[in-house]
Chains A and B, each alone.
Chain A
Amino acid sequence: MAEGKNGNHIDIDVSERPDILYIEKMIQSGQRVLDLGCGNGELMYLLKKKGVRVQGIEKDDECIIRCVKKGLYVHHGDIDDGLAHHLDQSFDYIILNQTIQQTLNPGDIIRECLRIGKQVIVVFPNFSHWQIRVSVLFSGRTPVTKLMPFHWYDTPNLHFLSSQDFENFLEKDKIKVIRRSFFNEKREIKILPNLFATLALFVIQAGN
């Protein structure tokens, strides 16, 4: 936990979030970024320190207060009805870091993001990780993991997808992939990611 002048600026240990560090490295100072479902604002805080012009949307009351404590510009509201006013291609990046599985209509959200952002970064828990597959096979129950620590009755996640599912969606919608990376809690995964990655990250843009 790092202490800032207004208390806790960092709520999680980002060294255990290679995806967050990967995104932070990718975005340059001066670029304009919209973080959808920005949570406590850990990623936004790192980007802001770097000089990125970042703003976020978040629906959770406590998260919003924590973002304000970090000096971040946040919009308290729902992504499902909060994007229409943004102009076409007005952001360099739109970030959906573990947000897309919680939205009502992920396909519509991604298409809207591709309209307002030059590139869109989508990160989601990979539902085809081997532990999940084994857990379903042997326990016969909906898995509860570190990244998806919820039960079927209390989860905010409305959709479960694998990196292969996402690839198929992009192909069907003719969305261009700029890069793709896969992670577990510690590092990037290069081999058989659909089996070994807990998190999948795609950078996409509109058109072929």
Chain B
Amino acid sequence: MPTTASSEHKDPQSVGIVETKIARFDSLTLDNGEIISPLEIAYETYGVLSEKKDNAILVCHALSGDAHAAGFHEGDKRPGWWDFYIGPGKAFDTDKYFIISSNVIGGCKGSSGPLTISSATNKAYRSSFPFVSIADMVRAQEVLVSSFGIETLFAVAGGSMGGMQALQWSVAYPEKMKNCIVMASTAEHSAQQIAFNEVGRQAILADPNWNNGMYEDDTKPSKGLALARMMGHITYLSDEMMRDKFGRKPPKGNIQTTDFAVGSYLIYQGESFVDRFDANSYIYVTKALDHYSLGTGKELTKALSGVKCRFLVVAYTSDWLYPPYQSEEIVKSLEVNAIPVIFVELNNPAGHDSFLLQSEEQDSIIKDFLEFTDDPDGVIYG
């Protein structure tokens, strides 16, 4: 929906005040044959869908993200997670494009997931919710996109887990998109990435309140989830970034909890995360990530042989969670298939989180890439 900026947010480059909506569908059959019914998808849109319905861009969020990608919810001080890039005149220009951002299924921010109330028990599914794969999340997004009457997306874009979804889109629905933007991502998790997620999941499983996932709202496995988030945060930053930001400085607040500033930062991140995220969802989503695989080398080349869109793949030198070699593997597999692809490795010091941060280079690369989709003075090869 087109939105108008309130008096609070007069920035002409902001999409202004937005709200999350819920779309409801009968059901969705998952990869493993199980059925989610009804299917609910939380989403937001920015900009205006053109008459031909050919200007829609789907942005896919990362692990702990949600449908709120840009602008402000009423009363919020901080904008959505990709506000630097979505808005009038920005990389995903809402004057030109219609942006859709939806919350993944299996998550806990409004789409069907472990917190959904089961009609059979009148209680939340919790850990009895079916296993959801990345392909399932994408299948649900396709249902949402189709409900707008959109046959072909102008682009699908995302970073980290969002990048894996964008990649999966290109494989699952090659005819339904023109451009694919994959940032700080991979075609499959390495043992190291699985290892970090495993430690996070084990922290939740070790919490005395875990109760096999059938916990109540007032007795959640908060400590375990906070530890999982602390672990995650270590991997999102780079050594350089941590050194600059924290060094060996003392903590803010109570010295009994931690001796160092980096410790108090992680504790704060962990504690604030438990207020906005569900432990079961954390397990569902990280498992979906770990199980996703388009393969490497020849397998990946084969998996990508049917894709039809152009690609922009962005990696970050300082990203040690999703190192550039994983992006380059996707690029090489596309190149072998003669798929048009731009690969850029940005030397941003912020580590894995770089794709979320403001960067002029990143802004212009995305803008230029989208600009040349129907290049009049050249031939798209492929």
Contacts and interface: CB of A to CB of B under 8 A. Distances in A.
A55 B381 CA distance: 9
Contacts, number: 70
23 contacts: A6-B368, A6-B371, A48-B378, A48-B379, A49-B377, A49-B378, A53-B338, A68-B365, A68-B369, A69-B364, A71-B371, A71-B378, A73-B340, A73-B341, A74-B342, A74-B344, A76-B344, A77-B328, A77-B343, A77-B345, A85-B332, A85-B335, A87-B336
Contacts of B340: 55, 73
A73 B378 contact: no
A71 B343 contact: no
Nearest to B347: A61
Contact of B372 (A52, A61, A64, A71): A71
B324 to A, nearest CB: 9
A75 interface: yes
A64 B364 CA distance: 12
Interface of B: 328, 331-333, 335-336, 338, 340-347, 361, 364-365, 368-369, 371-372, 375, 377-379, 381-382
* Interface of B: prevailing SS: mixed
B345 A71 contact: no
Given A55-B340, A68-B364, A73-B341, 4 more contacts: A54-B381, A71-B371, A75-B335, A75-B343
A5 B379 CA distance: 16
Given A73-B342, A75-B331, A75-B343, A65 B379 contact: no
A108 B342 CA distance: 26
A6, A68, A72 interface centre (most CB from chain B within 10 Å): A68
A68 B311 CA distance: 12
A190 B112 CA distance: 74
Nearest to A66: B368
Interface in A90-104: 90
B381 A71 contact: no
A107 interface: no
Given A71-B375, A76-B344, A53 B381 contact: yes
